[in-house]
Structure 1
Amino acid sequence: MLRTLLIVALGGGVGSALRYAVSKFVQDSTNGAFPYHTFAVNIVGCLLIGLFYGLAARGHLGNNTTTLLLTTGLCGGFTTFSTFCNENIALLRGDNAFVALLYIASSMFCGLLAVALGYLIIDIIASGR
């Protein structure tokens, strides 16, 4: 159990550092009320988790430890639901209800689409199409 916790913590640390770097890059490249930086991180994270679970389902990630490192650890540290929720509260408190609703709806739609795309990419690669 301790070994598993350390593996997840390692992935989470790397994911958190990557989240900061990607978020900072996107934030410095965009402006406006819409939180593009968190949106981008969460959608990329959804794509990655779809890819990783797609690979794991085919036995291409090795063992369960690698899957935990990449999904629970890396993706868990990379994506950020708490920031997403806090940004929506800030938008609502700042009288940006339309932007908050747009952010919620687009995050859900694009997130689900990205996970499905990740699985589809692995299906295509695995089938050799």
Structure 2
Amino acid sequence: MNQAKCLLSIAFFGAIGGCLRYFIGIAFPFMGTIVVNLLGCFLLGFLTFLWLNFHTVASWLSLGLGTGFVGSFTTFSGFCLDNVKLLLAHQMFTAAGYICLSVVGGWLAAKLGMTVGIYVGQRLQLGKDR
């Protein structure tokens, strides 16, 4: 595996993911972090299970999309900071809901992504077999 190709792929897709996260944060001022994290969970589940089960993908592309795009698109630090802000504002119920929605929603989004990835892969496989 060519390390330079992998690093360039991570940098390229990371720049796109970071910019997209910024624009989603503008579009959804408070909910932006939840939106990107749930979408990221879905995307990583989808891509992982589609590629693992049905397609061979070049490692530079897998690293670029997984580590680069999804890694820069999602934000654990933003999730934590949002919770600290809510706790400092004495919004305990909102903070608890935010944590539950993020964790449970993230798990469900990853599971949905996995399910969709397997479904799409099976459909693509059926198309190849005809």
Normalization by structure 1: what TM-score? Answer: 0.86
For residues 65-85 of structure 1, give each alpha carbon's deviation from its aligned partner in whole angstroms, at most 9, with x where no partner exists: 111111100000100111110
Matches within 5 A, 1:63-74: 63-74=58-69
Tell me if the contact between 2:42 and 2:109 (Cα under 8 Å) persists in the aligned partners. Answer: yes
Q: 2:72 aligns with which of 56, 77, 85?
A: 77
User: Which residue number in structure 2 is paired with residue 100 of structure 1?
Assistant: 95
Percent identity between the aligned chains? 34
Tell me if the contact between 1:15 and 1:73 (Cα under 8 Å) persists in the aligned partners. Answer: yes
* 1: CA distance, partners of 2:68 / 2:77: 16
50-59 or 7-16, which deviates more? 50-59
Matches within 5 A, 1:55-70: 55-60=50-55, 62-70=57-65
User: Which residue number in structure 2 is paired with residue 32 of structure 1?
Assistant: none
How many residues matched?
A: 122
Question: Once the 2 structures are TM-superposed, how far is the Cα of residue 126 of structure 1 from its aligned partner?
Answer: 2.4
Cα RMSD for the two superposed structures: 1.6
Q: 2:40 aligns with which of 32, 40, 45?
A: 45
Of structures 1 and 2, the larger Rg is shown by 2
Unaligned runs of 5+ in 1: 28-34
Question: Once the 2 structures are TM-superposed, how far is the Cα of residue 55 of structure 1 from its aligned partner?
Answer: 1.9
Q: 2:110 aligns with which of 108, 111, 115?
A: 115
User: Which residue number in structure 2 is paired with residue 31 of structure 1?
Assistant: none
75-84 or 52-61, which deviates more? 52-61
Normalization by structure 2: what TM-score? Answer: 0.86
SS in 2 for 1:58: helix
Question: Once the 2 structures are TM-superposed, how far is the Cα of residue 61 of structure 1 from its aligned partner?
Answer: 5.6
Question: Once the 2 structures are TM-superposed, how far is the Cα of residue 62 of structure 1 from its aligned partner?
Answer: 1.9
* 2: CA distance, partners of 1:61 / 1:90: 43
Tell me if the contact between 1:55 and 1:61 (Cα under 8 Å) persists in the aligned partners. Answer: no
65-74 or 54-63, which deviates more? 54-63
For residues 17-51 of structure 1, give each alpha carbon's deviation from its aligned partner in whole angstroms, at most 9, with x where no partner exists: 01111221122xxxxxxx31111111011111111
For residues 59-109 of structure 1, give each alpha carbon's deviation from its aligned partner in whole angstroms, at most 9, with x where no partner exists: 536211111111100000100111110111111111111111111111000
User: Which residue number in structure 2 is paired with residue 127 of structure 1?
Assistant: 122
* 1: CA distance, partners of 2:35 / 2:87: 20
